[in-house]
Structure 1
Amino acid sequence: MLTGQLDYHRATLLHKLEGLDDEQLRRQMTRSGLCLLGLVKHLAGTEQGWFLKIYAGIDEPDLYDPEADFRIDPDETVDGLVGLYLRTCQRAREVVATGRVDDVVTTPWGAPVNLRAILAHMIQETARHNGHADIIREAIDGATGQSRWLAACRCGVR
């Protein structure tokens, strides 16, 4: 149930990007510079951080400079960032598939956390950013709502 919910929210985020061009995906919609592509970049890093680095203990460099969270650099492409997100989500799925929800790890700040709590956090995190994506998308072109079927097909959710 937890992984299914997370996959649904992952797919919904990608569904919000469909039909928009590069400029629209990069368009900064808030004073802080938030844009749709920035949400994708942020969530790729969040997936990596929680599932790969904290839960699986994989020692690898961050996907991007933590100071660049949500910011899209001119050399970053839509295909590149969406691909990064999809690959990171797939790696996270593989890690989760080999774990157990009661497995406990210690966060870098010393708090114990189990896989169930990480999954619940990532569902909440992705769903919250989908809310931001809803508002941004509506402001860009007026599109509202979501199609569960289309979103599910986009990310391979069953």
Structure 2
Amino acid sequence: MATLPSTEPAQAVVRAATGDERQVLEAFLDLHRAMVVRKAQGLSEQDVRRRHVPSATTLAGLIRHLTVVERNWFGRVLAQDPSMAPPSQEDADRSFAVGDDDTVESLIAAYEQACAESRRIAARFPLDHEVPHEQIPALSLRWIYVHMIEETARHAGHADILRELTDGATGSVV
């Protein structure tokens, strides 16, 4: 899947302003997904791995983590596909770790592929479709969308700060 043009996600949010609930949820999630990707584009391999904070958080790690998150919530939880789950909680906790063979390009490609698969899975269900969850009796696709918007937007903010610390670039479109 090719990276979205720089203005498309923002235009989709504007088009959804009078759309139905699903259009709004999908547009905002795609906007934040695109923002995360844009923050890593144009940087060197060294720059996306640079640690600016005491934790292991890097731009590359954020993209890897969000790839795991997409597969978990849309694949494992919504589609009830156990093969989409991290093998263990320890692996889920290490979802920010980037391998030596990972590149900016490969991380972005894997993330965009996970997002495309999430869209395909979500399209199969109505917003009020409920699935069981290990921590609560059930949750809906609507809840998953809101959670994913929150999670992705939070990490897009982290990516924004990391990009600014890397090369001074700011804004939603770098």
Q: Name the TM-score, length of structure 2 as normaliser.
A: 0.80
Q: Distance in 1 between matches of 2:160 and 2:137?
A: 33
For residue 24 of structure 1, what is the amino acid of its counterpart? D
Aligned equivalent of 2:33? 10
1:140 lines up with 2:163 in the alignment: no
Aligned equivalent of 2:50? 27
For residue 39 of structure 2, what is the amino acid of its counterpart? K
Contact 1:47–1:88 at 8 Å: present in 2 too?
Answer: yes
For residue 134 of structure 2, what is the amino acid of its counterpart? P
Paired residues, number: 148
Structure 1 vs Structure 2 CA RMSD: 1.6
1:92 lines up with 2:118 in the alignment: yes
Partner of residue 97 from structure 2, selected from 66, 71, 76:
71
Residue 67 of structure 1: how far off its partner (Å): 3.9
Any idea what SS the aligned residue of 2:154 has?
helix
For residue 115 of structure 1, what is the amino acid of its counterpart? L
Residue 75 of structure 1: how far off its partner (Å): 2.2
Contact 2:71–2:84 at 8 Å: present in 1 too?
Answer: no
Superposition pairs of residues 49-128 of structure 1, within 5 angstroms: 49-62=72-85, 65-128=91-154
Residue 83 of structure 1: how far off its partner (Å): 1.2
Cα deviation code 1:113-136 (max 9, x no counterpart): 000000000001000001101110
Any idea what SS the aligned residue of 1:99 has?
coil
Residue 63 of structure 1: how far off its partner (Å): 6.0
Identity of aligned residues (%): 38
1:41 lines up with 2:64 in the alignment: yes
Any idea what SS the aligned residue of 1:32 has?
coil
Contact 2:72–2:84 at 8 Å: present in 1 too?
Answer: no
Any idea what SS the aligned residue of 1:111 has?
coil
Q: Distance in 1 between matches of 2:150 and 2:120?
A: 20
Question: For structure 1, which runs of at least 5 residues remain unmatched after alignment?
Answer: 151-158
- Cα 1:78–1:63 change in 2 (3 A) is farther
